[in-house]
Amino acid sequence: MSVRGATPVERPLPPIVFVARRPPALADSGQVPGLGPHGTFAGRGGRLLERASDGTVRELLPAGSVFDVADPVVSADGERVAFSARETDRSPWRIWAVARAGGGPVCLTCPAEAAGDDADPLWWGDTLLFVSTRGGGRALYDGTPLTQMWAMAPGDSPRVLTAEPNGVLDPATPPARDRVWFSRWWFNPWQARDRRVVRDALAPSDSVNQWQAVSGRLASSRTGTLMLTDVRLAAGGALPRRRSMALQSAPLPGGGAFAVAARNMGLAPQPGPLAVLKLPPPPGSGVRWSGAAMSDETGDTYAANTNLAPPAALAPAPLPDGRLVCALDPGGRGEYGLCLLSADGESHRMLVDVPGEWELDPAVVPLGTPSATAKRHDVTKSPHGTGAGASPTFRYLARDVFAGAGAPPRSDGAELHVYELVSPDSVRRIRRLDVPRSGRVDVRLPASTPLFEVLVARGGVLATPHGPAQVRGFNSGAQGTTSSCSGCHLGHSVAR
């Protein structure tokens, strides 16, 4: 079936799978369906479509098979599309799959009566990765249902991979397919003062509230349990923070990624103006590629009530030749279409723009990829035992808490205080560790539990140019894995 709004281009493009969705209702004004903690499970109906190389557009699902759809991702062999969908307007979100050659959709994460909602699928060989609220919990910032990353191997039940206190979204993989990228909500309501950790009602709260890109490796324990290890910063890690934030990351072959930034870096309750940045490998700041030009300076044209609506861009999907497909609202009027950007970002052309629908979430179909590349991804073996009776711990290895620019001064008699998150309103100290002058800390800590560390010496919290020497994000690790870093400062997880 052909759809109005498809535009041909001079150079052929590979097929592009995308969704066309109804604009949000007035109650959800300011949200983009599929984006951020408040938009991921919002939606009023949608269709799964594919734009062919000749510009024609067809539907991939039989009419009426699902009510709403988001987050398509194409398998490495180009034969299947996984996506999140609601079967009816009252159904939970689940992960489905359909063959590009035709046929009906198959639900992969049903039964539908299971708790929570699922989104953001990613093929990892024959294992499915996705985010879900099925584990329960609420984000520290505003009580949003927590989205953690889960994995489901064929014939197995889903297993949770992350333990973030604010949630994760948008798993992706770089062209090398050696690591899993995802976005984590980096927010901390706790502020270190002297030897105590206090709530923001009692002391100035931590200033960090943004989504950032991190990556990790999938590892298999001796018992065969899949887990995530070696989590580190994947992009950003520099100031100003807005040019280091990242949602919907699209990793690039040479390192770095295209990703989405927003004026409201936490995206809650609304994202505000949106832009696509091109981010270098960490540490580094991104460069605006499309969408809103956002400034933190006073007198910013789009923030000073001048009635000028900035353009908005999101959902970057790089092409092999350097060009970029994204969703673009060029006039800032709430009318997204699929846009093709030149390799230098200087020119753009709309590919599909149907009035009354928002074209979002483009996914490029790989061409010329032999089926052999669709084999199961390599999963490393964890060297740590996780057998019956083993304590549920992970190894926290800080090679040198005093290393790197921006770290606290090297001190004798330093201590690392480790706190466990008890609830959004309280933490409790579980360990006090002596830190030698070398700065090395190597300790076992409770697994799959958000932990918060503060570095103190001589009765007070050690200071850095960016504030207290503390883990602004929360540290955690799956049972039997190692979480390592170097330094106790901005971007500490870059140096390994």
- Would residue 491 count as lying in a domain? no
Q: Are residues 430 and 286 in the same domain?
A: no
Residue 490 within a domain: no
Claim to verify: residue 260 and residue 291 sit in the same structural domain? yes
Q: Which residues pair with 290 in a beta bridge?
A: 276
pLDDT of residue 113: 64
For the stretch 125-183, pLDDT in tens is: 889 999 999 999 999 899 999 999 999 988 888 999 998 989 999 999 999 888 999 99
Question: Of 379, 404, 422, which one is at a domain's C-terminal end?
Answer: 379
Whether residue 379 has pLDDT greater than 70: no
CB 281 within 8 A of CB 270: no
Given 347, 379, 411, the domain boundary residue is 379
How sure is the predictor about 9, in pLDDT bands with cuts at 50, 70 and 90?
A: low
Q: Cα(400)–Cα(409) distance, rounded to whole angstroms?
A: 12
On whether both 124 and 242 belong to a single domain, the answer is yes
User: Per residue in 285-314, pLDDT tens?
Assistant: 999 999 998 865 544 554 444 557 789 999
Dihedral (CA of 369, 371, 372, 373) sign? positive
The string of pLDDT tens digits covering residues 35-58 is 999 999 999 999 999 999 999 999
Report if residue 26 sits inside a domain: yes
- End position of a domain, from candidates 352, 379, 406: 379
Question: Can you tell me the mean pLDDT for 345-371?
Answer: 87
Contact 277, 324 (CB under 8 A): no
Residue 36: DSSP 8-state: H
- For position 197, what pLDDT does the model report? 65
Residue 238 has what pLDDT? 82
User: Does 365 share its domain with 419?
Assistant: no
**Higher local confidence (pLDDT), 485 or 345:** 345
**CATH number, position 157:** 2.120.10.30
pLDDT above 90 as % of the chain: 53
Query: Is the confidence at residue 16, as pLDDT, over 50?
Result: yes
**Residue with structure tokens 């409790």?**
428
Question: What is the band of 449 on the pLDDT scale with cuts at 50, 70, 90?
Answer: confident
The answer to whether residues 178 and 141 belong to one domain is: yes
Q: pLDDT digits over 72-89, tens only?
A: 999 999 999 999 999 999
My answer on whether omega of the bond before 33 falls inside 30° of 0, hence cis, is no
Residues 6+ apart with CB under 8 A from 491: 233, 236, 237, 238, 282, 283, 406
* pLDDT number for residue 27: 62
CATH number at residue 466: 2.60.40
Give the pLDDT confidence score for residue 494 in this predicted structure: 47
pLDDT at 200: 41
Looking from the CA of 147 toward its CB, the CA atoms found within 13 Å total 27
* Alpha carbons 228 and 108: distance in angstroms, whole number: 21
Query: Quick one: pLDDT band at residue 496, thresholds 50, 70, 90?
Result: very low
The reply to whether 371 and 407 lie within a common domain is no
What's the average model confidence in pLDDT over 56-69? 96
In this structure, are 142 and 264 located in the same domain? yes
Structure confidence at residue 490 (pLDDT) = 54
Question: Residues 79, 203: one domain?
Answer: yes
Are residues 371 and 404 located together in one domain of the fold? Answer: no
Is 7 part of any domain?
no
Structural domain that includes position 468: 393-485
Q: What total of structural domains would you count in the chain?
A: 2
Tell whether the model's pLDDT for residue 385 goes beyond 60: no
Domain shared by 200 and 241, yes or no: yes
User: Looking at the structure, do residues 444 and 357 belong to the same domain, yes or no?
Assistant: no
**Is it the case that residue 338 has pLDDT exceeding 60?**
yes
Let me know if residue 10 belongs to a domain: no
- Indicate whether 184 pLDDT > 50: yes
Model confidence at 372: pLDDT above 70: no
Do 264 and 187 have their domain in common? yes
For residue 144, tell me if it sits in a domain.
yes
Residue 93 has a pLDDT of 97
Q: Are 93 and 107 in contact (CB under 8 A)?
A: no
Q: What is the pLDDT of residues 108-122, one digit of tens each?
A: 999 756 789 999 999
Average the pLDDT over 197-214 and give the result.
Answer: 67
Answer whether residue 481 is part of any domain: yes
Q: pTM for the full model?
A: 0.86
Establish if 384 belongs to a structural domain: no
Would you say 453 and 430 are in contact if contact means Cβ atoms under 8 Å apart? no
Residue 442 has pLDDT above 60, yes or no: yes
Per-residue pLDDT reduced to its tens digit, 220-243: 877 777 888 888 889 988 888 889
**Radius of gyration of the CA atoms of the chain, in A:** 23
Q: Please give the pLDDT value at position 198.
A: 60
Residue 191, pLDDT above cutoff 80: no
Mean pLDDT score, 192-214: 66
